[in-house]
Amino acid sequence: MLTAVQRFHDKHGFRESGGEDLPYRVALMAEELGEISACITKGKTKEALAEECADLLILLIGTAISANLDLSEAFWQKMEKIEQRPSRMIDGRIRVSEFGS
């Protein structure tokens, strides 16, 4: 996936044309979250939801490329961290977080 997204960035000259600007990318990710939300709240198809989730994943990978991050390493470090966290039921739903004392 990383290679495919890097190829896409290179093909369209993202680095040279503002496509890797981090505030811009955050705005795009917020837009995609809105589209994911719309899929759920408007009862759209599973395929439509999958497509919007794929859009967000592509943007996340592209943001890692833009910021020169090792997303795989960050993922595994974060998983190790959250595996140690407690879970709580909050308003009838499970939550795993850093709960303050």
DSSP H helical segments within the chain, as ranges?
A: 2-12, 22-41, 46-66, 71-83
Q: What is the mean pLDDT of residues 15-35?
A: 97
The DSSP bridge partners found for residue 90 are 93
- For residue 12, is it within any domain? yes
The DSSP bridge partners found for residue 95 are 88
- Report long-range pairs for 38-44 (Cβ below 8 Å, ≥24 apart): none
Residues whose CB falls within 8 Å of the CB of residue 19, separated by 6 or more in sequence, listed in order: 9, 12, 13, 66
Position 10 confidence tier, pLDDT thresholds 50, 70, 90: very high
- For residue 96, is it within any domain? no
The DSSP bridge partners found for residue 6 are none
- For residue 80, is it within any domain? no
Task: Give tens-digit pLDDT for 65-89.
Answer: 999 999 999 999 999 999 999 999 9
Position 100 confidence tier, pLDDT thresholds 50, 70, 90: confident
Q: How many domains does the chain have?
A: 1
Structural domain span for residue 39 = 2-70
Given a cut of 70, is residue 44 above it in pLDDT? yes
- Give the pLDDT score at 101: 59
